[in-house]
Amino acid sequence: MSKSMDTKALTTNPSPEEKLSQLGTDVDPVMVKARAIKRLEGAKEGESFSADDTDLIRAMTLNEFDNGVLLAACTGQTSRTFAIDLMRKIQREYLCEKSSEKATAEMAAASYVRALDVQRVFNNFLSKDSFGDLSIKVISVLGKELDRANRHYLTAIQTLRSLKQPPMQLNIKATTAVVGQNQIVQANNETK
């Protein structure tokens, strides 16, 4: 590119369409990153940030699968550190590289922690000396929630396993093929 073209590009005003293409919402990841970087650049060394600093919190969520800020927000106070650690360990165990794999690992961790939390509450109810009608209903609901959390955890782990398995390829060129112990795929050949 020539020097005159460089100068022209810097001195011309952007067209209305170019201006519109640069607009975004306040939650657009590009805009959030830019504001967070600007905020961090203006910070003094050792300065702490408020939990109410929405741009920094939003920017942190963009790295959710590394820092687990949203996972921590949806788990109990005592389980947060464990949940983030479990998410990272599951990601390492299943070699999660794609966002869908990392999200599934996070769902597995969230479900596991939810199962632990429900089990704790369930045990507290079971340790009571007597049960009223309300206690029995709460125990019933907790039992169902515990089953649901366990199913979600197992489904997420099974999904990760299936995502990491190499795809199975079969090429069958036969009139009759034994696929399983009691299964037969049979082609009907019509003779004319």
* Chain segment 162-184, per-residue pLDDT in tens: 998 888 777 777 777 666 665 55
Cα-Cα-Cα-Cα torsion 32, 36, 38, 40, nearest 10 degrees, comes to: -170
Distance between CA atoms of residues 14 and 78, nearest Å: 53
Domain that holds residue 139: 65-165
Same domain, 90 and 132: yes
Q: Identify whether residues 41 and 87 lie together within a single domain.
A: no
pLDDT in tens, 74-128: 999 999 999 999 999 999 999 999 999 999 999 999 999 999 999 999 888 888 7
Residues 74 and 25 in one domain: no
Question: What is the distance between the alpha carbons of residues 153 and 139, in angstroms, rounded to a whole number?
Answer: 21
Indicate if 137 and 86 belong to the same structural domain: yes
CA dihedral over 31, 33, 35, 38, signed as positive or negative: negative
Tokens for 77, please give them. 């106070």
Provide the domain count of the chain. 2
Beta strand segments in 11-168, E: none
